Amino acid sequence: MKVYQTNEIKNIAILGSSGSGKTTLAEDMLYEGGVIKRRGTVEAGNTVSDYFPVEKEYGYSVFSTVFSVEWQDRKLNFIDCPGADDFIGGAVSALNVTDTALMLLNAQYGIEVGTINQLRYTEQFQKPVIFIVNHLDNASSDYDGTVAQLKDRFGSKIVQIQYPVNQGPLFNAVVDVLKMKMYRWKPEGGVPEVLDIPADEADKAAELHAALVEAAAEHDDRLMEKFFDEGSLSEDEMRSGISAGLITRGMFPVFCVCAGKDMCVSRTLEFLGNVVPTVDRMQYVKNTEGKEIAPDSNGPASIFFFKTTVEPHIGQVSYFKVISGKVKEGDDLQNADRGSKERIVQLFSVAGQTRNQVSEMMAGDIGATVKLKDIRRGNTLNGKGCDYRFDFIKYPNPKYRRAIRAVNEAEAEKMSELLTRMREEDPTWIVEQSKELKQTIVSGQGEFHLRTLKWRMENNEKINIEFIEPKIPYRETITRSARADYRHKKQSGGAGQFGEVHLIIEPYYEGMPAPDVYRFGNQEYKMSVRDTQTIDLDWGGKLVFVNCIVGGAIDTRFLPAILKGVMARMEQGPLTGSYARDVRLMVYDGKMHPVDSNEISFMLAGRNAFSTAFREAGPKILEPIYDVEVSVPADYLGDVMSDLQGRRAIIMGMNSEKGYEKLSAKVPLKELSSYSTSLSSVTGGRASFTMKFASYELVPADVQEKLLKAYTDNQEDD
């Protein structure tokens, strides 16, 4: 493969819901571009894109796949992204390093929930979108209905470049209103006949052509002036106008394909080669300092790694985008994130697991390399004198969590190492060794997401694992003030132990006034504040420790020991052993012994006094509450609301969005354990949701009672 310049490179993400035909379209493009000699199929498990064993097992894409096609003296870099929402991380990565999105739509279903989710990312990243309507040979295909959905969402920005002549099982022809020709295929597809538009299609074609000319002219003042003067544009002028409209997202062209029969794929590639903007015309990437970095091949060398995989017989394959400058085989580069040096031994332009060696890559190009010593996804390698760093890929929050453990405990360490490695390949897996819960928690985008992890562990790595219901990170707090004192005294020959602590605790909230006077029974306690420490707890909330000692009843040097004892009890609340939070504590009195008092004595006295006071202060259990947003077709809204209410959800609001309802709710984490599976079941897979931690709130009395009983029973069993 020759070395392509920045103004000859186009980077394109292939998006679409599961079943829209992305993998098959990618196979057609590779075939039409001469990269492969024979098209594989998903059913046969021999496609370029889905080459990992887990993808062949399940029959759907799990990882994004990078491939390149040379077309009309241009290099088209594609990233074929998984369609399932569980694997959205691949699409997020791809959209951050590409410039244009091809959005496949299944003509049977039109805009699906997965489509909407991916469209939100194209909008967030301001990427041009070209719609391709696939599966036009299906008996239930509805091209006009699909276009109507698009227009309902994007209005006049939707511009048809092609439309099918005879969709359904006999589909074999489209009219192209840019070329003003009809393309017709034999039943097996392949090379089409290029014909004049039939008389019975002439009026429709002319109308759509006029709309296309007007849309193309809108985005270029020179073309608009010519359009007003002459009423028409040449084909090259239309291409120029469409390209300008793509860059500003002022136009969304619509194409047709039948990927299963390789119909209209070559024409699509022609359009991509001619019209899609090259890297140098698109928005520049910003480094961590907020500076825009131009894709200048004469600039300093800087490459960003957006994806890693581990492949048999090769090891780690690292995929990168050249942000600036150029990279050559043999270059020595500095890792801006890890401080290490790396030598680029080999450079590859890739097509799935096939790697074609190249000597050099210019700014804007996408490629891969192997045998790097210390590179991670998200790292930047720079040439001499360059200090760029990039951190522009932000992944969605996880939605499904499970505790994971090796069936054979002897393999626990190996399992942890593999989880770390696998997260490099898919950053939307979050792995946490929870000291609090005493579990390894794996969080992902859904049940299928974690199921693929389990399959890979058991089939590729031969480690049997099991998922179990994760514990909930409850918190404990108090609801009223309480007072307690405790004397620790121990004498066993020689120096003894003595420490006495008197304290008051109360619920803490931001901005509360300084402690003053407290009354317990008939006795009044006036606080004289000497010092205040506010401790931000690692698990959330605060502990405010106030020294109110007067008259030297306890020496100042023993206060850190008292605080240490209190913190020990904060880490294991008396109700369920959960972390405690949001407490203000005043140490106001105590006693010490000139010989026997020491730090251990006051630590124990403080811990026990705090524990006694906590139990008297109306202790309550807090549970994590999440903000949940559900996108659901309107006809399933009632079922979804009913299901949420059964999960103790509080519905916060809803609004309509182009045939879908967006439902906002606050839901306890405990009730979200299997929500992704339930939502899919309730809506036939046509809804999606996001969740984000909101706050800790008091659990209802009946729930607290169950939790206390479960904790007590567990303690007795132990």
CATH number of the domain residue 581 falls in = 3.30.230.10
User: What are the pLDDT digits (tens) for 201-226?
Assistant: 999 999 999 999 999 999 888 888 88
d(CA 141, CA 258): 11
Hey, which residues does 117 pair with through a beta bridge? none
d(CA 90, CA 17): 13
Residue listed under structure tokens 């699509």: 268
What residue spans of 429-502 are helical by DSSP H?
447-455
Q: In this structure, what DSSP letter does residue 69 have?
A: E
Q: Is residue 100 part of a domain?
A: yes
Identify the domain boundary among 350, 382, 414.
382
Q: Is residue 237 part of a domain?
A: yes
User: 105 with 131, same domain?
Assistant: yes
pLDDT for 625 beyond 90: yes
Tally the C-alpha atoms within 13 A of residue 660's C-alpha that lie toward its C-beta. 21
User: 378 with 411, same domain?
Assistant: no
Q: Is residue 130 part of a domain?
A: yes
User: 521 with 551, same domain?
Assistant: yes
User: 580 with 626, same domain?
Assistant: no
d(CA 325, CA 303): 9
Q: Is residue 65 part of a domain?
A: yes
Task: Return the SS3 of 28.
Answer: helix
d(CA 698, CA 28): 57
User: CB within 8 A of 323, min separation 6: which ones?
Assistant: 285, 293, 295, 302, 303, 304, 363, 380, 388, 390
Tally of residues, the chain: 718
User: CB within 8 A of 311, min separation 6: which ones?
Assistant: 317, 353
User: CB within 8 A of 405, min separation 6: which ones?
Assistant: 412, 415, 439, 440, 465, 466, 468
User: 451 with 498, same domain?
Assistant: no
Q: Are strands 332-335 and 380-382 parallel, antiparallel or unpaired?
A: antiparallel
Mean pLDDT of 524-549: 95
Q: Which helix (H) or strand (E) holds 432?
A: strand 430-434
User: 598 with 481, same domain?
Assistant: yes
Tally the C-alpha atoms within 13 A of residue 56's C-alpha that lie toward its C-beta. 11
User: What are the pLDDT digits (tens) for 332-348?
Assistant: 999 999 999 999 999 99
d(CA 219, CA 197): 28
Residue 52 — pLDDT band, cuts 50, 70, 90? confident
User: What are the pLDDT digits (tens) for 17-33?
Assistant: 999 999 999 999 999 99
| pLDDT at residue number 367 | 96
Q: 685: buried, middle or exposed (CB in 10 Å: 19+, 13-18, 0-12)?
A: middle
For residue 661, the domain's CATH number is 3.30.70.240
Q: Which tokens sit at 502?
A: 């008197």
Q: Is residue 389 part of a domain?
A: no
Identify the domain boundary among 281, 316, 346.
281
d(CA 389, CA 650): 42
Backbone angles phi, psi at 647, to 5 degrees: -105, 20
| pLDDT at residue number 45 | 86
For residue 31, the domain's CATH number is 3.40.50.300
User: 139 with 29, same domain?
Assistant: yes
User: 178 with 53, same domain?
Assistant: yes
Helix count and strand count (H, E) for the chain: 16, 40
- pTM equals 0.86
What Å distances lie between residue 27 and 39, 348, 592, CA to CA? 6, 20, 81
Mean pLDDT of 429-438: 92
User: What are the pLDDT digits (tens) for 382-411?
Assistant: 999 999 999 999 999 999 999 999 999 999
Q: Which helix (H) or strand (E) holds 274?
A: helix 265-275
User: 435 with 449, same domain?
Assistant: yes
Q: Which tokens sit at 74?
A: 């241009």
pLDDT for 493 beyond 80: no
User: CB within 8 A of 194, min separation 6: which ones?
Assistant: 181, 182, 183
User: 232 with 326, same domain?
Assistant: no
Identify the domain boundary among 599, 618, 637.
618
| pLDDT at residue number 717 | 65
Segments forming the whole domain that contains residue 404: 400-471
